[in-house]
Amino acid sequence: MKRLALIIAALTFTACANKVSYTPPAPQQVPPNFKENADWKTAQPADHLSRGAWWEVFGDEQLNTLQTKIDVSNETLKAQQARFAQARAAIGITRADKYPQVTTSPSITATESSANRANAIAHQRFSDFVLPVDVAYEADVWNRVRNSVTAARAAAQASAADLESVRLSLHAELALDYFELRGIEADRRILEAAVTAFQRALDLTRSRFQGGIASQADVAQAETQLESTRAEAKDLMVRWAGLEHAIAALVGQPASSFTLTVTPLSGLPPDIPAGLPGELLERRPDIASAERRVASANASLGVARAAFFPRLLLTASAGFESSSLVNWLTGLSSFWSVGPAAVATIFDGGRRRATSEQAQASYEEMVADYQNAVLTAFQEVEDNLAALRVLHEEADIQHSAVAAADRSLTLANNRYRGGVASYLEVTTAQNAALSSQRIAADILSRRIGASVLLIKALGGGWNVASLPELKGDGR
């Protein structure tokens, strides 16, 4: 009994020594505020992005309708959901090792032995009816199974965060494509208005040429300007078609049967509350995924260390065996056996040590990936905050440029009609006005796109509390 007590105490002490504790990695540096957010005016209420459907802040019903189709019909999202289902099922697979494994292998055999074998004088026939039940159970004294379940659960949570990352990326991609399409529509209408104006200018120039006031060169210049603008308007349809087809794929529809009609991009982007850098760690699904993979690698390290200790097994077998079907299930035909066993690896050529070192290196890799995910998140928020600030300032300057170009065009047209200016002056003013208007439209499109990317960088309203707990068998 003393020896047994010592053995139990030793096993308990060793098992405790192999317990793997986990502390989430701390980011190397978390700034108190975003540098580009110092003078940024945020909208009220400041938590309006935490409701899930973040795209609704743009107030576009057509976009809202398209976004709802992603969760239902997008095949990329369905594939990621299936990966999460696989990871969730893996918890049940590893958790099954916590329980005894019960198997049975009933058999009925008829045998006739050789008459020429040793000590045999004739053929002998006999039957064997066996109905066994075998039980095997591994005592998890080294926490191998527990750490395996912990690793699987953390991996499944990482897969759940990956699912939300994919979902966020798809919604953001749809919003970017949609607003770019609206930007193209605005650009197309600017070019169509320019084509109309250039057609009137060409008609005027032809009339002046017929009256001997303008030259043939002026007519050719007006025709060149008109046709070049028409070609630019037509060229926009290549980008239009590509974006329309991309949106069709995102919402799960064939491009051949999908048509989208949009209005020109107008209005200003909404104010996006960036919050504090510390909050970003709780709102980015990719950061949550990286942290869960650190936890999984930490638990896998415990599994690798458990390989240095013997596996303690308890096996039992019971059933019935008889040479006759008549008395197969009688008491005299019963049998049983039970007993503990230990399986230990004495020499493996360094396999276990290398496996442990590999698990340690994997853990360090996951920690580095987590730190990199945090740094990338801070960078993306700062990038888009900077883009919104600069584009806001650029839009104000460009607004003045558009007004100045329009005044210049009006003056040039008046001077040309009065015969005091050449058509080259009109052409120059027309091109400057057209370029200014298109640049202004492009700046607005870029501001909307930067707003979408900022929301994506902030996690789109997702929160780490949304991660499934995945208790029990993971379902």
281-326: per-residue pLDDT in tens?
889 999 999 999 999 999 999 999 999 999 999 999 999 999 888 8
Point out the least confidently predicted range of 129-133, 209-213, 443-447, 456-460. 209-213
In a domain, 27, yes or no: yes
Whether 43 has a pLDDT exceeding 60, the answer reads: no
Cis peptide before 32 (omega within 30 of 0): no
Residue 415's CATH number = 1.20.1600.10
In a domain, 330, yes or no: no
Q: In a 3-state reduction of DSSP, which class is residue 245?
A: helix
Kindly tell me the number of DSSP H helices and DSSP E strands found in the chain. Answer: 9, 5
In a domain, 414, yes or no: yes
Domain that holds residue 263: 15-99+142-307+351-466
In a domain, 108, yes or no: no
Whole-number average pLDDT of the chain:
88
Q: Which residue has the higher pLDDT, 358 or 44?
A: 358
d(CA 83, CA 166): 12
In a domain, 71, yes or no: yes
Q: Which residue has the higher pLDDT, 55 or 7?
A: 55
Predicted pLDDT at 474: 43
Number of domains forming the structure of the chain = 1
State which of 112-116, 149-153, 273-277 shows the largest mean pLDDT: 149-153
Query: What is the tens place of the pLDDT at every residue in 326-348?
Result: 889 888 999 999 999 888 989 98
Whether 93 has a pLDDT exceeding 90, the answer reads: yes
Q: Are 169 and 76 in contact (CB under 8 A)?
A: no
Predicted pLDDT at 126: 83
d(CA 85, CA 58): 33
Query: What is the tens place of the pLDDT at every residue in 173-183?
Result: 999 999 999 99
Predicted pLDDT at 38: 58
Whether 5 has a pLDDT exceeding 60, the answer reads: no
In a domain, 7, yes or no: no
Half-sphere exposure of 251 (CA within 13 A, CB side): 24
Q: Are 219 and 205 in contact (CB under 8 A)?
A: yes
Query: What is the Rg, in whole angstroms, of the alpha carbon atoms belonging to the chain?
Result: 37
Point out the least confidently predicted range of 348-352, 389-393, 402-406. 348-352
In a domain, 80, yes or no: yes
Half-sphere exposure of 393 (CA within 13 A, CB side): 6
Whether 273 has a pLDDT exceeding 90, the answer reads: no
DSSP bridge pairs for 113:
124
d(CA 126, CA 419): 125
Whether 51 has a pLDDT exceeding 60, the answer reads: no
Predicted pLDDT at 45: 36
In a domain, 332, yes or no: no
Whether 239 has a pLDDT exceeding 60, the answer reads: yes
Predicted pLDDT at 371: 95
d(CA 277, CA 367): 19
Place 48 in a pLDDT band, splitting at 50, 70 and 90. very low
